[in-house]
Amino acid sequence: MTVLYKANMVRGAEWATLFAERAPDLPFRLWPDIGDPAEVRYLVAWVPPDDIAATFPNLELVFSVGAGVDQFDITKLPPHVPLVRMLEPGITERMVEYACMSVLALHRDLVQFIAQQREQVWRELPVTQTGKRRVGVMGLGLLGQAVLGRLKSFGFPLAGWNRSPRSIEGVTCYAGADALPDFLGHTDILVCLLPLTPETRGLLNANLFARLPRGARLLNVGRGGHLIEADLIAALDSGVLSAAVLDVAEPEPLPAGHPFWGHPRILLTPHIASTTAPETAVDFVLDTIARRHRGEALPGRVDRTRGY
């Protein structure tokens, strides 16, 4: 009965140490040292190996090492093998930090000031009070709600848009496709924290940008596939949007020469908004395995029909 890990190898070494301490009787292996594939019962992966089901015939549980699961083709997992996304506090805390940093950077024109610095330009830009800068978050799940919770302290008027209705104190909540235009019309800084699904792919496009107040700002911390890249460039170049912070892209890494690298209105980070903390992730995995053995419900279990 083995746990196989296939993700960031530096953090993998930490996982191995923690497993040895906390579950010394449970063999733990780091990809590509898979041992006997028939012994692998639990797979923890970022990019999963091809043909998981055929390679590991006795799998009981598959974990995404991250909060998102779009990198998995759930249809290829046998129905009795649950896919579980990582629910551990480290991911949430780091996302909250990154999102607050980026919203403040967009609010205080940091992207424009970085461009000015490159051009050796010393010029003030008008300051907007936080009370007049409306921040809207798409996706009111675990991360969206945590980010909104921390943004409250800055005094931004807050809104959120979600598939199903939500009620969050201090946040104007919108639900469903019909409510999207209204939400966008009241959003000066748009934050995307949606999962990537067939419904949300390409949602950040020219039509959506056109519904935002002119000169709005964008933070995409969801997935690169949410964004139509050419539409973003056109929106930035025409003033429909004034700046964007992007943590995700498609593909990752972006190829050399891609227009995002040098665009003066884009601040790009290499998908580091949040990372899984081994300390707490190992406990989550061990707890989930124990729950599975007891036949209990599994927090973070991906709904096969929704895809997240």
- The residue among 48 and 222 lying less far from ligand NDP, judged by its C-beta, is 222
Q: Which of 188, 246, 238, 181 is nearest to 207 (CA)?
A: 181
Binding of residue 66 to ligand NDP (CB under 6 A): yes
Q: Which of residues 64-123 bind ligand OXD (CB under 6 A)?
A: 66-68, 91
Binding of residue 225 to ligand NDP (CB under 6 A): no
Q: Which of residues 31-50 bind ligand NDP (CB under 6 A)?
A: none
Contacts of 187 (CB under 8 A, 6+ apart): 134, 135, 136, 159, 212, 213, 216
Binding of residue 12 to ligand NDP (CB under 6 A): no
Structural Rg of the chain based on CA atoms: 21
Instruction: Classify burial at 290, counting beta carbons within 10 Å of its beta carbon; exposed 0-12, middle 13-18, buried 19 or more.
Output: exposed
Alpha-carbon distance values, 10 to 16, 68, 198, 248, 289 (Å):
10, 20, 32, 21, 23
d(CA 183, CA 276): 31
Beta pairing class for 83-84 and 61-64: parallel
What sign does the CA torsion over 275, 284, 288, 142 have? Answer: negative
Binding of residue 153 to ligand NDP (CB under 6 A): no
Binding of residue 308 to ligand NDP (CB under 6 A): yes
72 DSSP 8-state letter: S
18 DSSP 8-state letter: H
d(CA 233, CA 17): 45
The DSSP line for 103-166 is HHHHHTTHHHHHHHHHTT-----PPPPGGG--EEEE--SHHHHHHHHHHGGGT--EEEEESS--
Piece of the chain touching ligand NDP by CB under 6 A; list 102-110, 112-120, 142-150, 289-297: 142-150
Binding of residue 88 to ligand NDP (CB under 6 A): no
Residue 211 annotated among the catalytic residues of the structure: no
Among ligand OXD, ligand NDP, none, residue 231 binds (CB under 5-8 Å by kind): none
Among ligand OXD, ligand NDP, none, residue 196 binds (CB under 5-8 Å by kind): ligand NDP
Q: Which residue has the CB atom at the shortest distance from ligand NDP? A: 141
Of the candidates 62, 140, 212, 228, which one interacts with ligand NDP according to CB under 6 A?
140
User: Contact at 8 Å (CB) between 152 and 131?
Assistant: no
Catalytic residue among 223, 263, 265, 292: 223
The DSSP line for 204-226 is BSHHHHHHSPTTEEEEE-S-GGG
Per-residue contact track with ligand OXD, 256 to 285, x per CB under 6 A?
Answer: ------------------x-----------
Binding of residue 301 to ligand NDP (CB under 6 A): no
Residue 118 annotated among the catalytic residues of the structure: no
Of the candidates 2, 107, 247, 281, which one interacts with ligand NDP according to CB under 6 A?
247
- The residue among 33 and 178 lying less far from ligand NDP, judged by its C-beta, is 178
Shortest Cβ 273–ligand OXD spacing (Å) = 7
Residues marked as catalytic: 223, 271
Residues that bind ligand OXD (CB under 6 A): 66-68, 91, 274
Residues that bind ligand NDP (CB under 6 A): 66-68, 91, 95, 139-144, 162-164, 193-197, 199-200, 221-223, 247-248, 271, 273-274, 308
